[in-house]
Amino acid sequence: MNILILGPQGSGKGTQAQLLAEKMGYYYVESGRILREAAKTNPAVDEIINQKGQLLPDEETFSLIKGKIESEAQDLNKVVFDGFPRSAKQYSLLKDWLHSEGTKLDLAILLEISEEETIKRLSARRTCEKCGKVYNLITNPPPKEGCSCGGKLSQRIDDTPEAIKTRLVAYREVTTPLVDQLGREGILIELNGERPIQTIFQDILAIVQK
């Protein structure tokens, strides 16, 4: 069973996807981490996603994530996708590839939060400069001594309210058609993402187990 967890920035999709992958023993596709890794060695990618806060072209995003899955995943029927695909085009590319491998996306869970909540959460986000782990001063605060790896925590330059609003507009433009398509295919379930982490996770687990 392959599962997609999606939602706007700050919705907690990464936290829920990771919890689900660990609980089910599935391979976890953290699209944000894959793109950040690419940005470290590719200045063009770095400029688009870190400096401008924009999205990579769908084909390039798919190529990077597909390559990561092919090199690491042991079972293409046990994958949790975190935030990818985020557009109808990306879904089409993923769908065709999975079909060629004899599998498919079985379930998509959309975590919904308001724009105000997104801005509040992302403004409180801090990332470890050493290991890349992401904390949130509100929903998932770091230990008092900082990141467990000893790295320094910092705020991304695109986590300002103005930049967040721009990213939300881009998110809605590219994701709404995908959400509509997933709904038509009957594999989409929407959940309130403004509740406690464990409450949301228990709902997700019940849906998956059903």
Here the CATH number for the domain that contains residue 42 is: 3.40.50.300
- pTM, two decimals, is 0.81
Q: How many helical (H) and strand (E) elements, i.e. helices and strands, does the chain have?
A: 8, 8
- pLDDT by residue (tens digit) across 136-195? 888 788 888 889 898 999 887 777 788 888 888 888 988 999 999 999 999 999 999 999
- pLDDT by residue (tens digit) across 51-68? 776 678 899 899 989 999
* % of the chain with per-residue pLDDT over 90: 54
Examine the pLDDT at 106 and tell me if it is beyond 90: yes
How far is it, in rounded angstroms, from Cα 134 to Cα 62?
Answer: 23
Whether residue 159 is contained in a domain is answered as no
What residue type is assigned to position 8 of the chain?
P
Q: Which domain holds residue 27?
A: 3-114+176-209
Helix axes 115-123, 161-184, angle to 10 degrees: 130
Mean pLDDT of 102-129: 91
Hey, is 110 helix, strand or coil? Answer: strand
Q: Give the strands of the sheet with 188-192, arranged side by side.
A: 27-30, 79-82, 3-6, 107-112, 188-192
Examine the pLDDT at 81 and tell me if it is beyond 90: yes
Whether residue 62 is contained in a domain is answered as yes
Per-residue pLDDT, 162? 81
